[in-house]
Amino acid sequence: MNRHFALFVGTMALAGSVLAGCSNDSTGPADDGQAPAGVSDEMTAIQYFAREDDFVKNEEETFGDVTLEPGEYATFGKIDAAITPLRWGRIITGVNRSVTVNLLPGDSIAIARVTKTITGDFKIRALNGTGDTVVITKPFTDQSTRNVMFKRVRREPVRYWLNWLPVATSLVDGGTVGQSSSIDLVRLAMYLPGGDSVVVTDPNRFWLRYRWTYLYNAADSDVPEFTPGQRVRLQAKLTSAAADTDMVVLRFGVRGLQRARVRMRLTAEQFDPATGKYVRTYEIPFYTHAHTGFFHAGVDAMTRGTIFDDQAPYAVSWWGIPYRVL
């Protein structure tokens, strides 16, 4: 393991053991005797609890930054660049959330599709060609989608907001509006302790079951659950229109001030003449943190120009696999 990464993991584990809060098995409604504000029927209840799902709420935390953070660039590839980045961060300034509900035939399963339009500034502190420190700001608009599956558990006319419970989730699929042809994640694989794996090529249609509800058995896999310190390996494949190597980062363990952002290593590359694009594979091992709760292993893929060129447009693609630490 890289010495700096090992030190970082140890620091994260120590911080987690001190700052960890309580975790629970609830990603759905609690019975406090009254409907949540704005909830007037079963459909608005599903919309509300989809927005309040622990994994849904963790998305912006995972893929946003609270400040400009350092990155590793020494082994990036070509050294010619318009700027030399020192720190960078995706600063989210606004999120518009919408939820649409599709009730499947049989009145026992409902799919809530959560769409977020995320706006903000991608900021880079860098050295320019004359050696001066500058801050480049690239306004961005990203959009993400994910599906949350609900199962009917009762037909209570009074406490109607308790009639549906979330039982599974898809991955979250995000990226830059209008730049999807520049870079696009196409496959994500998580290799789990014990030899199991989660392999995804269609993030919004791959279902991960909330095992702790014991209410749904037809998902593609369970939400991965870990104990602190377990080793996990993540592999991501993408297509890119640029000949220059992209920047791909793993984000994980994000809650409040506890966050990890580590660059993934390029392991394979080939040019596809049929599409005119490069196909690249990136990998990284990581160790689960000590703080418990609901998180994402988020792969954040950016074109080289996003970070290394002050004039190039911001173009990213990001997916997130939900997981729990117990």
Residue with tokens 């302790």: 193
Contact 135, 117 (CB under 8 A): no
Query: Which helix (H) or strand (E) is 200 found in, with range?
Result: strand 197-200
- Band of the pLDDT at 9, cuts 50, 70, 90? very low
| pLDDT over 90 at 44, yes or no | yes
Q: Is residue 31, in this structure, part of any structural domain at all?
A: no
Query: Which helix (H) or strand (E) is 255 found in, with range?
Result: strand 247-255
Contact 303, 280 (CB under 8 A): no
- Identify which of 236, 281, 232 has the alpha carbon closest to the alpha carbon of residue 9: 232
Contact 8, 262 (CB under 8 A): yes
**What number of residues does the chain have?**
326
Q: Which of 8-12, 30-34, 146-150 has the lowest mean pLDDT?
A: 8-12
Q: Higher confidence at residue 69 or residue 79?
A: 69
pLDDT of 149 reads: 98
| pLDDT over 80 at 67, yes or no | yes
| pLDDT over 50 at 76, yes or no | no
Q: Higher confidence at residue 293 or residue 70?
A: 293
Q: What is the pTM of this model?
A: 0.88
Number of domains in the chain: 1
- Identify which of 174, 149, 184 has the alpha carbon closest to the alpha carbon of residue 62: 174
Strand 172-176 relative to strand 183-191, pairing: unpaired
| pLDDT over 50 at 21, yes or no | no
Q: Is residue 25, in this structure, part of any structural domain at all?
A: no
Q: Is residue 307, in this structure, part of any structural domain at all?
A: yes
Residue with tokens 């050295």: 127
Q: Higher confidence at residue 208 or residue 67?
A: 208
First-to-last alpha carbon distance for the chain, in angstroms, is 24
Residue with tokens 């870079």: 183
Task: Give the structural domain span for 302.
Answer: 3-17+39-325
Six token digits for residue 60: 């912006």
Q: Is residue 32, in this structure, part of any structural domain at all?
A: no
Percent of the chain with pLDDT over 70: 86
Can you tell me the mean pLDDT for 33-55? Answer: 96
CA distances to 34, 147, 206 from 39, in Å? 10, 20, 29
Q: Is residue 33, in this structure, part of any structural domain at all?
A: no
Q: Is residue 27, in this structure, part of any structural domain at all?
A: no
| pLDDT over 50 at 2, yes or no | no
- The per-residue pLDDT of the chain, averaged, comes to 88
pLDDT of 73 reads: 43
Contact 238, 184 (CB under 8 A): yes
Q: Is residue 34, in this structure, part of any structural domain at all?
A: no
Helix axes 42-51, 54-63, angle to 10 degrees: 40
Q: Is the dihedral of CA 79, 306, 136, 283 positive or negative?
A: negative
- Band of the pLDDT at 82, cuts 50, 70, 90? confident
| pLDDT over 60 at 231, yes or no | yes
Contacts of 314 (CB under 8 A, 6+ apart): 122, 138, 139, 140, 176, 179, 302, 306
Alpha-carbon span 60 to 166, nearest angstrom: 20
Alpha-carbon span 147 to 11, nearest angstrom: 34
For 273, which DSSP code? T
Q: Is residue 133, in this structure, part of any structural domain at all?
A: yes
Q: What is the pLDDT of residues 22-42, one digit of tens each?
A: 334 556 676 678 999 999 999
pLDDT of 188 reads: 98
pLDDT of 6 reads: 41
Contact 168, 210 (CB under 8 A): yes
Alpha-carbon span 135 to 123, nearest angstrom: 7
| Neighbour tally for 293: CB within 10 Å | 19
